Amino acid sequence: MEAGREITLEVKDDKTNYMFMSRDQNSGRSRSVKYGSSSFERVEEFQYLETNMAHQNSIQEEIKGRLKSENACYHLVQNLLSSRLLSKLLKIKIYTVINFPFVLYGCETWSVTMAEKTKMSVSENRVLMRIFGPRRDEVTREWGKLHNEKLNDPYNSPNIVRVIKSKRM
């Protein structure tokens, strides 16, 4: 704290908290830390740069919140993504430029489980189905939806799970 004063860094006692991260649930039971005349309260979770941090390093709630934000954004551009006036390439650009940042913010530090990957893929496939629309089978001449594995083939559309893996630290 003395080093901070040299460069005019001031720590506010009433706004400063700390979070103890450990795999051992019983370690660090102390509720506050005292340093000189200052006392800092322990918290179980906090929000930093729009990212929720939890003491067990669980990102499930973070991803759930990101997917909610992406869903709200999707509903704002839903008419554009289903319009016949725009090309499929332009619709994919709109999706990647507008919707991807909502989900991918802070993904560099995530350790994603299979369940979370599935949730993100389902969300992405819903949007891609809206963009590509129904397909007509050449043999049977019947209309039907594209299957999940065929959604990423046309126009080399992005895969959100691969993007997260490529950005990971």
* φ and ψ of 52, to 5 deg: -80, 125
For the segment 111-168, what is each residue's pLDDT rounded down to a tens digit? 788 888 888 888 888 888 888 777 777 788 777 777 666 666 655 667 888 888 887 7
* Percentage of the chain modeled with pLDDT above 70: 67
The model's pTM: 0.62
**What's the pLDDT score for residue 142?**
79
Binning pLDDT at 50, 70 and 90, where does residue 54 land? low
Cα–Cα nearest to 21, from 53, 51, 56, 48 = 56
**Measured CA distances, 70 to 1, 16, 94 (Å):** 40, 31, 13
